Chain A
């Protein structure tokens, strides 16, 4: 029942907002709904018995393999928690004053949340796919209505939206094809993950099917060379939209790899492993170098996210305890980080009226508390020991080292690049002589503290004491790896 409540609470709240359009109370209603879901997610965690749980199994379209089967294991729970805990901050990040049609924005955000919960609790490949695609529809409108133009070719908000939509759907349709293929091959034509994981496809099929399955997630994450939609979309999207995209939505890619790619086509994974890891690492290095050259703060965050995500994917494909746990742990850390970073971008933009790094400088003198918050977030971003990111990156680094020394070397290089561009950005925004042309801006207010302080606290606490999350993952990761090693 808890899972159904997770699906329904945001959905109903969104429906209320959409129908009644209470612009004044929209943010309050959305926040209330997101607090309820966060509480439910935590309750789910408290009650977690430590193994794979299926809570509900209803026939929907059994003849084509679709059943409404929802449940979770340790990894699923992690992502459910992530979605539940991030959304109060994402919704809270919206300002009530001067908002354009707040009821609609919040309704779209809540619809996305509901679809995301669906993805993370689905125990049926087809059901997963349905929620996966549904999460795209509200974002399409969020981007279309509130997107801003990006300077350059193909830069109008409409063009960016269409590119994002088509790119993601390309991956989605490839996934649909792969699911259909697996369902036809499966003797009882079931699309349940359990049945599909037990499927043993011939080796040569696995080698091409790997790409049909992987493409969707490679685009969603995105991995080099499928990333070209990402920087423009992140830059064009409204702040909350980017938070959803970068903080939560892309985690569907990791989750999908975990649910589909690794267990269904193990031979394909074995075959393509080093190709994919190198693709991911090259993307991470490349994005890190580009991030350094960005003039626009939001675009810099987009590229830094791209760089981090490359590393996450590489860690997952290392496919050992360190790699997978590290990648999942870092997925959590990355969500916290992205939401913080983007919130700061918004806060800085509100004070200076720009996101252009060249036009800023010396903000620290006027807004010392904001500078301090930025500094703390930055420590997490550069993966300083005792922050959450350090734990994840250290584990992934270990995992990659077990595969290949050079991969680990590339991974460390991305971490160093990350430190360089983050520190450089901090320097250009906060330090140096005060830029006289900037408007007079106030320091961090109560709203800023309410959003940023809890997130920073989480990242520091889990950096010192990562055990709760790692324990949660341990059982599921071990179980997955044992089925995999049993094969070889």
Chain B
């Protein structure tokens, strides 16, 4: 509870620092604040204690996700020191908005009331719409911001409509009551309730970029500042998935909704992986890869086994580590290549900086799911869950799609290990080197010892 308050205050504090022109203090203060929040979470033993008048309650999964998101945000903040080094104006706003967005994400991990779900989504999203347009002089960035805002508002409207319908049946926003109603629905289905769940699921699928609600993600990923793209594909994804997982768990998934989600899963896997094959622009590639990973995660959401939340956490957290590392690498390579974002900017990376080449290899292998990296353990667990839930054919399909995924990751790896005539002149600051190394080493470490993320 104190952690929630701390993050809200931290955002305001960062705004004030910006107001008084203390640009140098932003990152240290932000990181210290986030570390303090992690500390509060670790000290806090109030698991499963209802807070704020039964609005929020952290269970074990919510606790794990919250800590994970805070850690990832710390990494992004540290990267931000370098990313915003040459920008003088509006830096504080970016950081503050990110913290606000994070606060929304924390609510999504722990909501016990449908209103809190809506609030969480909105607090998460509205700063994101602004952040996507962070490069004010870039058309692409403005386009991304506008597109995201417009489509996001539609999704929020669906979400609200769904919540209203569920309220119409259950006469309460409280998830405890909704759960009882949902149990009764299994015997005596009510079309309004099913429709309500369906609408909420649509609103949440928009956030996780599941097909057919994924159209925004490549454009927004491409147009946004890379730092924000990294935030969107990691923290936002984690938050949206824990939100969706809780919702699906509580409403017990009316059979029709279950089928709809299954179809969405299959489409997401297919579109994400197949379209990624044709991408040569790195950020778009990462966007489609993110959609593809959403497909795998949806399989876990569908299974609803006792350890699903743990698997989701393991998957999203290790995915986030790999993604943050890759986006940092990409920013460095992009600078060396004068703003190009084609995957050829990685050519010759291994020759120029062998260690960065190796780390890139590790991160990519983790995304592709090759053994001894965390990505492999994550995928394997998803397959186990899905087979346990009797989704055999979907699993076979997912396995095939994982193979397609390996191809486009291998193309990037191949690029990094192909020697080029002119080696990329990468300038790596010590902090960035540390961040990239931490990401690379941790995906291997968590792959070898996954027990530490339980």
Contact = CB atoms under 8 A, between A and B. Distances in A.
Interface of A: 61, 63-64, 126, 129-130, 133-134, 137, 140-141, 144-145, 158, 161-162, 165-166, 169-170, 173-174, 176-177, 180-181, 183-184
B410 interface: yes
B388 interface: yes
Nearest to A162: B410
A180 B406 CA distance: 19
A133 B384 CA distance: 19
A158 B413 CA distance: 12
B371 A133 contact: yes
B410 A180 contact: no
Given A141-B417, A165-B410, A184 B384 contact: yes
Interface stretch (B70-78, B107-115, B230-238, B375-383): B375-383
A42 to B, nearest CB: 29
B384 A183 contact: yes
5 contacts: A64-B384, A133-B371, A162-B411, A173-B402, A181-B387
Majority-rule SS of B interface residues = helix
A105 to B, nearest CB: 14
Nearest to B310: A63
B311 to A, nearest CB: 10
Most B C-beta atoms less than 10 A away, residue of A158, A162, A184: A184
Contacts of A161: 414
With a 10 A CB-CB cut-off, give which of B399, B400, B417 has the most chain A CB atoms.
B399
Nearest to B381: A64
B126 interface: no
Contacts of A174: 399
B274 interface: no
Contacts of A140: 410
A63 B380 CA distance: 12
B407 interface: yes
Nearest to A133: B371
A364 to B, nearest CB: 41
Given A129-B371, A176-B383, A61 B407 contact: no
A128 to B, nearest CB: 11
Residue with the greatest number of chain B CB neighbours at <10 A, chosen from A144, A177, A181, A183: A177
Interface in B364-410: 365, 370-372, 376-377, 380-381, 383-384, 387-388, 392, 395-396, 399-400, 402-403, 406-407, 410
Contacts of A180: 380, 383-384, 387, 395
Contacts of A129: 371
Main secondary structure of the interface of A (DSSP, over half): helix
A212 to B, nearest CB: 8
A286 B414 CA distance: 34
A382 B388 CA distance: 51
Contacts of B377: 61, 64
A133 B399 contact: no
B430 interface: no
A144 B413 CA distance: 11
Contacts of A169: 403, 406
A236 to B, nearest CB: 14
A170 B403 contact: yes
A173 B371 contact: no
Given A176-B383, A177-B396, A184 B417 contact: no
B342 to A, nearest CB: 17
B406 A166 contact: yes
Nearest to B377: A61
A181 B392 contact: yes
A145 B417 contact: yes
Contact of A130 (B372, B383, B414): B372
A148 to B, nearest CB: 15
B410 A134 contact: no
B380 A176 contact: yes
Nearest to B451: A61
A100 B402 CA distance: 34
B450 interface: yes
Nearest to B402: A173
B370 A137 contact: yes
Nearest to A59: B451
Contacts of A181: 387, 392
A169 B399 CA distance: 10
Contact of B380 (A64, A144, A145, A170): A64
Contacts of B370: 133, 137
A64 B305 CA distance: 14
A206 to B, nearest CB: 14
Interface in B195-249: none
A166 B411 CA distance: 11
B403 A177 contact: no
A141 B371 CA distance: 16
A144 B410 CA distance: 11
A184 B388 contact: yes
Contacts of A126: 380
A64 B385 CA distance: 10
A188 to B, nearest CB: 14
Contacts of A183: 384
Contacts of B380: 64, 126, 176, 180
B387 A184 contact: yes
Contact of B399 (A61, A173, A184): A173
Given A130-B372, A130-B376, A169-B406, 12 more contacts: A61-B450, A64-B381, A64-B384, A134-B371, A144-B414, A145-B417, A161-B414, A162-B407, A162-B411, A162-B414, A183-B384, A184-B384
A63 B314 CA distance: 14
B291 to A, nearest CB: 20
A344 B384 CA distance: 48
Contacts of A133: 370-371
Nearest to B382: A180
Nearest to A185: B387
A66 B392 CA distance: 21
A285 B119 CA distance: 69
A140 B368 CA distance: 15
B410 A173 contact: no
B43 to A, nearest CB: 28
Interface string B344-360: 00000000000000000
A145 B418 CA distance: 8
Contacts of B372: 130, 134
Nearest to A180: B383
Contacts of B387: 180-181, 184
Nearest to B406: A169
Nearest to A131: B371
Q: Which of B307, B365, B372, B411 has the most CB of A within 10 A?
A: B372
Contact of B403 (A134, A162, A166): A166
Interface in B149-206: none
Contacts of B407: 162, 166
A180 B418 CA distance: 35
B399 A177 contact: yes
A166 B410 CA distance: 9
Given A61-B377, A61-B451, A166-B407, A176 B414 contact: no
